[in-house]
Amino acid sequence: MPNTMKYEKILDALEELLKSRTIQTISVSDIARTAGIGKGSIYYYFPSKESILEALIERNYEKPLDTAKTLARQTSIPPFTRMAMLFQACRNSSSEFMNQENSEGIPVSTHQERSIIHQKYLNHLVTELKPELTEIIRQGIESGEIHFDQPAALAEIVLIVLAVKFDNTLIPTTQEETQATIRGLISLLEKGTGNPPGSLNFLMSFHDDTK
């Protein structure tokens, strides 16, 4: 508890700098200056520049993912509703600090430079949420709302598609295309889980929020 303060300060500094620049253009000295500490101190808390970024990513994901997890455990709520909530949480966590700039006007190369972040995001989101979504689906199967015999696989498929589409830099497409794909996924889910067409449309709701 003595020194966590400075540790967090470093993360804050990087987070701040990351809003207007890419990791590659941010030097360790920049981080130190922004954090208001000496450069040497940085390496007292982190072994490398890369590790700072990883720690920041971890920090930012923990919160939304944790809430999503506890949310997912509310067995009183019907499975598909919880699924929708989980989607929502995904979406929020994704846009949290990935799309700090409206991605217009940023050259393609800059997108590329963020690849480590995006990859980490994809990995975290899917691996962390897969057990939760699997459990939700399993409960849905038991209660007869979902007809599919491979809950884990289904969970992973859904998460992969959602994560990739939410992070619009991995495969940049227009809003319309993204929506079309999500709609297709829902359609596929309906037929695949034995639900009538349109019954899962409410899963889309998370996607047309304000802004």
Binder of residue 43, out of DNA, a second copy, none (CB less than 5 to 8 A by kind): DNA
Binder of residue 183, out of DNA, a second copy, none (CB less than 5 to 8 A by kind): a second copy
| Integer Cα distance of 5 and 128 in angstroms | 27
Indicate the angle between helix axes 4-18 and 28-35, nearest 10 degrees. Answer: 120
Return the number of the residue (3 or 123) whose C-beta is nearest a second copy: 123
Binder of residue 119, out of DNA, a second copy, none (CB less than 5 to 8 A by kind): a second copy
**48 scored as a contact of DNA (CB under 7 A):** yes
Return the number of the residue (52 or 154) whose C-beta is nearest DNA: 52
Binder of residue 37, out of DNA, a second copy, none (CB less than 5 to 8 A by kind): DNA
Residues forming contacts to a second copy in the complex (CB under 8 A) are 50, 109, 112, 115-116, 118-120, 122-123, 126-127, 148-150, 152-154, 156-157, 160-161, 164-165, 170-172, 177, 180-181, 183-185, 187-188, 191-192, 194
**2 scored as a contact of DNA (CB under 7 A):** yes
Binder of residue 112, out of DNA, a second copy, none (CB less than 5 to 8 A by kind): a second copy
**50 scored as a contact of DNA (CB under 7 A):** yes
